[in-house]
């Protein structure tokens, strides 16, 4: 039997269920006995494995049994030294990586187009960001990866930095030259932390960008729930040889729940087994589907479903072919407008829309029929709504002016001002569109007219803006200086 066919947590849950153990522990619903509604909505089999930690089922905060074995199988499948099951999503894994690498006041080098979870980690631990501005593709209006030359300059100016943080890939499927970044970092005694929230498939598919573990990165977080088939909120943290796993476990336990869901952990167990055994075939199919969709959408005209042709061996070192990113500006609609119309008029929910693009996630659960519906809907949207596009914004990324660390700004004395009156002041909170959750402005950065104009435009087009105390974002909290 192939070791990867084993699912230790699932097997333990089945055995536990067979013993008909009387439960005088939590959860209080007692495997669905509390109310019929719970079973009607979630299903009997799901509710009946919602157990608490016990000796036969192990404990995720100090695994010595079936969870330990399941994590070892995960590490083996991903070619890592160790792995940890994360039930707080990849957000918790990103934060655990940064807490492991950096203490208060220490520097971390990272691209500014990181997910909010990374900057939230800096707010919590007090590490100081040294940003590398990503490249920008002005035609598509998107931020790219980091160029090696830019990273070298930043490393030379900040030799005391503890780590380099890398998106592998970005939300748009773009990858930096991770192998060279690892070589540069290790030469300068820095760790490499990879956010692979959208890169689970890199470990199993062919003709995809290099994975973080293969490139020699020290830590990586992977959202198996995004492209690997596990349940929402389940993720894994991977570590390589330069990192002390026992210390990482202590860091994880600072913020992880002491009641991790066996439903989520069993889904990680199942997804890992399926990927390890069938991943190559699964992602071969996914790539073929995405390439087919790109070709058909580009035939419609005015849309641009971009792919490997945008690679420039610099800030676009490689491209994730499973990503179906579509530039919409030339039909006269912002990406967020196409996103809304697809859902409201065609019952098609895609991952996100920004001011110029949409992203459709194609992964293990997709079928050709649904893909044809998306292609047909985009063709009809163009026919119904095409108009002049010259008035639309043509870029997404704005270089930040960093004045203070995120922690200092977030916990500073602050006051609220009208957004229009905030120019020149320092933000004490985040503003971001979610998804993708990349801050337009973060605590400690100067508010400019360009930022305000962008925020207003994004709101007008329908982007959901998050992060501010004022839910309507008419006001913003700024630092007392």
Q: Quote the tokens at residue 308.
A: 């490997």
Separation of alpha carbons 292 and 348, rounded Å: 18
48 lies in some domain: no
Q: Is residue 337 part of a domain?
A: no
Give the Cα separation of 199 and 319 in Å (integer): 11
From the CA atom positions of the chain, what is the Rg in Å?
23
CA distance 199 to 74: 15
Distance CA 221, CA 237 (A): 4
Rounded to the nearest angstrom, the gap between the alpha carbon of residue 407 and the centroid of all alpha carbons in its chain is: 22
Q: What is the pLDDT of residues 225-251, one digit of tens each?
A: 999 999 999 999 999 999 999 999 999
Give the CATH number, domain containing residue 68. 3.40.640.10
pLDDT score recorded for residue 26: 86
pLDDT at 357: 96
Round to whole Å and give the CA distance between 65 and 52.
Answer: 15
**Structure confidence at residue 35 (pLDDT):** 86
The distance of Cα 257 from the centroid of its chain, to the nearest Å, equals 20
* Residue tagged 């090696």 (tokens): 148
Residue 43: inside a domain? no
Instruction: Give how far Cα 445 sits from Cα of 102, 224, 257, 409, 427, Å.
Output: 21, 33, 32, 9, 6
Q: What are phi and psi of 66, to 5 degrees?
A: -70, -30
Q: Which of 276, 291, 311 is the last residue of a domain?
A: 276
Q: With a cut of 50, which residues of the chain have pLDDT below it? A: none
Q: Tell me the C-alpha distance between 307 and 292, whole Å.
A: 11
In a domain, 196, yes or no: yes
Q: What are phi and psi of 477, to 5 degrees?
A: -80, 130
List C-alpha distances in Å: 393 to 135, 307, 389, 404, 454. 18, 22, 9, 29, 8
The answer to whether residue 215 is domain-embedded is yes
52: tokens are 């608490």
Specify if 62 maps to a domain: yes
Report pLDDT digits (tens) over 126-162: 999 999 999 999 889 899 999 999 999 999 999 999 9
- 337-352: buried (b, 16+ CB within 10 Å) or exposed (e) per residue? bbbbbbeeeeebebbb
User: What pLDDT score was predicted for residue 34?
Assistant: 87
Domain count, the chain: 2
Domain for residue 264, yes or no? yes
Q: What is the CATH number of the domain that holds 430?
A: 3.90.105.10
The per-residue pLDDT for 108 is 98
- What's the pLDDT at 19? 85
Distance (Å, whole) CA 401 – CA 384: 41
**How far, in Å, CA of 265 to CA of 257, rounded?**
13
Domain boundary among 276, 297, 329: 276
Domain enclosing residue 226, as ranges: 55-276
d(CA 79, CA 73): 10
Q: Domain boundary at 234, 253, 276, which?
A: 276
Whether cis (ω within 30° of 0) applies to the bond prior to 169 is yes
Write out pLDDT tens, residues 38-56: 989 999 889 989 999 999 9
The answer to whether residue 380 sits within a structural domain is no
pTM for the model stands at 0.95
**Helix (H), strand (E), coil (C) string for the chain:** CCHHHCCHHHHHHHHHHHCCCCCCCCCCCCCCCCCHHHHHHHCHHHHCCCCCCEHHHECCCCCCCHHHHHHHHHHHHHCCCEEEEECCHHHHHHHHHHHHHCCCCCEEEEECCCCHHHHHHHHHHCCEEEEECCCEECCCCEECCCCHHHHHHHHHHCCCCCEEEEECCCCCCEECCHHHHHHHHHHCCCEEEEEECCCHHHHCCCCCCCCHHHHCCCEEEECHHHHCCCCCCCEEEEECCCCCHHHHHHHHHHHCCCCCCHHHHHHHHHHHHHHHHHHHHHHHHHHHHHHHHHHHHHHHCCCEECCHHHCCCCCCCEECCCEEEEECHHHCCCHHHHHHHHHHHHCCCCCEECCCEEEEECCCCCCHHHHHHHHHHHHHHHHHHCCCCCCCCCCCCCCCCECCCHHHHHCCCEEEEEHHHCCCCEECCCEEECCCCEEEECCCEECCHHHHHHHHHHHHHCCCEECCCCCCCCEEEEECC
Average pLDDT, the chain: 95
């Amino acid at each position: 039997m192939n070791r990867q066919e084993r699912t230790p947590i699932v097997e333990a849950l089945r055995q536990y269920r067979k013993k008909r153990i009387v439960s005088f522990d939590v959860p209080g619903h007692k495997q669905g006995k509390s109310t019929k509604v719970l079973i009607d909505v979630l299903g009997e089999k799901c509710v009946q494995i919602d157990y608490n930690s016990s000796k036969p089922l192990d404990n995720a905060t100090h695994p010595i049994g079936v969870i330990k074995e399941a994590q070892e199988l995960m590490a083996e499948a991903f070619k890592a030294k160790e792995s940890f099951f994360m039930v707080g999503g990849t957000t918790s894994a990103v934060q655990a990586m940064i807490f492991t690498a950096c203490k208060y006041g220490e520097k971390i080098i990272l691209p500014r187009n990181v997910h909010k979870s990374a900057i939230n980690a800096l707010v919590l631990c007090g590490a100081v960001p040294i940003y590398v501005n990503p490249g920008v593709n002005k035609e598509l209006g998107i931020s790219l990866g980091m160029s090696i030359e830019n990273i070298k300059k930043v490393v030379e100016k900040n030799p005391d930095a503890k780590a380099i943080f890398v998106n592998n890939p970005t939300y748009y499927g773009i990858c930096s030259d991770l192998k060279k970044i690892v070589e540069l970092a290790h030469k300068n005694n820095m760790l490499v932390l990879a956010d692979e929230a959208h890169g689970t498939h890199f470990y199993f598919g062919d003709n995809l960008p290099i994975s973080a573990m293969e490139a020699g990165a020290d830590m990586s977080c992977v959202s198996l729930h995004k492209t690997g088939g596990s349940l929402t909120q389940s993720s894994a943290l991977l570590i390589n040889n330069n990192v002390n796993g026992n210390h990482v476990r202590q860091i994880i336990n600072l913020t992880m729940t002491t009641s991790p869901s066996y439903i989520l952990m069993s889904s990680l167990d199942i997804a890992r087994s399926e990927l390890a055994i069938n991943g190559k075939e699964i992602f071969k199919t996914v790539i073929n589907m995405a390439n087919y969709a790109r070709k058909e959408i580009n035939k419609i005209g005015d849309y641009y479903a971009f792919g490997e042709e945008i690679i420039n061996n610099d800030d676009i070192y490689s491209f994730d072919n499973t990503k179906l990113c579509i530039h919409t500006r030339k039909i006269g609609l912002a990406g967020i407008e196409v996103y809304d119309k697809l859902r409201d008029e065609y019952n098609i929910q895609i991952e996100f829309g920004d001011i110029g693009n949409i992203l459709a996630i194609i992964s293990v659960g997709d079928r050709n029929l649904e893909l044809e519906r998306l292609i047909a809907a985009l063709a009809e949207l163009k026919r119904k709504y095409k108009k002049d596009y010259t008035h639309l914004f043509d870029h997404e990324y704005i270089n930040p002016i960093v004045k203070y660390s995120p922690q200092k700004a977030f916990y500073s004395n602050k006051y609220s001002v009208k957004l229009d009156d905030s120019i020149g002041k320092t933000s004490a909170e985040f503003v971001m569109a979610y998804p993708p959750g990349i801050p337009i402005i973060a605590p400690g950065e100067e508010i400019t007219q360009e930022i305000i104009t962008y925020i207003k435009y994004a709101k007008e087009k329908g982007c959901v803006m998050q992060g501010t105390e004022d839910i309507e974002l008419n006001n913003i909290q700024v630092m007392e200086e």
